[in-house]
């Protein structure tokens, strides 16, 4: 209630990107003020519950609700976001070299549609800056996924070099990696989802992961870190089959479905005319459909993270029953506030109990059984 009655009206009077920077600065500041993080946790944290805990790829996720990439682009507010109930955080997208992104304005609200349009363009401070930040973030309570991409000026035929550089710079500090080939805001990036380009890219990323992972395994006895691929919701059924086949053959650990969409079906707000990726409620049905198809195509063999349009516990549960082992939110946090995590997790517990499940993992892919 505090967010919707006090903070949201103030933030929504700001330009969207100004509100974003205000929020990020507040989350960073929270980590520096004595007592602020425990207070945030008391207000918005999610109590641990065995039924919601998930173990994937040798990593423990205290609950299934994560923060999607795009909000904490430079990994500067991990302690703050960790204190408000997320089960994991996806930071980035990070590129090898810092870049400013696309021209402003580049972020737009569609309140009537519970949506956002962004054409940010991978604005970030670069892999070395993120490395320095993560090196200082010593007290971690939840897993950190690092979303990696290529610089705008890097041609697709050299894209694999950029992804390798990101893995190399950040391997010691990530719990898992996400290969972003599905943002609509970097020219030609989405073409990396197809054919030989995707095969070469994933082979390069996995080779770099294996080189670094085997070196770390010799020192620490740990297994190589998981690599996931983030795909677009706009793939046709045929394209989705081809992408899935390539991903399955690459040895990657999982899929995130989905990124933002270029579709504008059914929107009412005037900002629907803006170019960029659409996130939020209009993506709910399509993202769930993609998760369901992926689970069927992979026969449940590859863990899926469901992202896109999750606003309610039922949205999250539908994604889980369709085949997702974890889910992510972004736009719902903007519209609903930090209380979204408690609402989703409490609702998931009720839905699991209603259907006779004692653990969330039992509900994964239940619609297929």
Give the Å distances, CA to CA, from 206 to 109, 163, 198.
Answer: 37, 10, 12
Residue 1 above 70 pLDDT? no
**pLDDT at residue 138 is higher than 80:** no
Q: Would you name the residues annotated as active-site residues?
A: 183
Tokens of 247: 């991903």
Mind listing the domains of the chain with CATH numbers? 2-368 (3.20.20.70)
Query: What is the average pLDDT across 323-333?
Result: 98
Give the tens place of pLDDT for each residue, 82-108: 999 999 999 999 999 999 999 999 999
Count of CB atoms within 10 A of residue 32's CB? 10
Percent of the chain, pLDDT > 70?
Answer: 100
Tens digits of residue pLDDT in 154-190 = 999 999 999 999 999 999 999 999 999 988 888 888 8
**Model confidence pLDDT, tens digit, residues 249-278:** 999 999 999 999 999 999 999 999 999 999
Query: What are the Cα distances from residue 342, in Å, to 62, 152, 253?
Result: 13, 38, 28
């Amino acid at each position: 209630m505090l967010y919707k009655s006090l903070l949201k009206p103030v933030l929504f009077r700001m330009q969207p990107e100004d509100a974003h920077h205000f929020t990020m600065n507040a989350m960073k500041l929270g980590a520096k003020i004595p007592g602020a993080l425990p207070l945030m946790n008391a207000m918005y944290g999610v109590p641990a519950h065995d039924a919601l805990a998930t173990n994937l790829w040798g990593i423990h996720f205290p609950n299934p609700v994560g923060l999607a990439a795009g909000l904490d682009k430079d990994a500067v507010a991990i302690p703050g976001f960790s204190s408000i109930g997320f089960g994991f955080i996806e930071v980035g997208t990070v590129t090898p070299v810092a870049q400013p992104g696309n021209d402003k304005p580049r972020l737009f609200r569609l309140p009537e549609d519970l949506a956002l349009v962004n054409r940010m363009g991978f604005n970030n401070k670069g892999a070395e800056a993120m490395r320095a930040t993560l090196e200082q973030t010593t007290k971690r309570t939840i897993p950190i996924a690092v979303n990696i991409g290529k610089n705008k000026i890097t041609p697709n035929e050299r894209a694999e070099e950029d992804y390798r550089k990101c893995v190399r710079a950040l391997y010691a500090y990530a719990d898992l990696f996400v290969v972003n080939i599905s943002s609509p805001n970097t020219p030609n990036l989405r073409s990396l989802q197809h054919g030989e380009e995707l095969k070469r890219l994933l082979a390069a990323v996995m080779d770099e992961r294996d080189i670094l992972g085997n070196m770390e395994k010799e020192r620490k006895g740990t297994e190589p870190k998981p690599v996931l691929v983030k795909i677009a919701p706009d793939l046709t059924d045929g394209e989705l089959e081809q992408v899935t086949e390539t991903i399955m053959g690459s040895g990657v650990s999982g899929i995130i479905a989905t990124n933002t969409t270029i579709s504008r079906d059914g929107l009412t707000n005037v900002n629907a005319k803006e170019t960029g990726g659409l996130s939020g409620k209009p993506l709910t049905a399509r993202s769930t459909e993609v998760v369901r198809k992926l689970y069927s195509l992979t026969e449940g063999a590859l863990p899926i993270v469901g992202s896109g349009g999750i606003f309610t516990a039922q949205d999250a549960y539908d994604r889980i029953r369709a085949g997702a082992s974890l889910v992510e939110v972004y736009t719902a946090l903007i519209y609903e506030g930090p209380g979204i995590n408690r609402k989703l997790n409490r609702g998931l517990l009720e839905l699991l109990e209603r259907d006779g499940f004692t653990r969330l993992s039992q509900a994964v892919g239940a619609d297929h059984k």
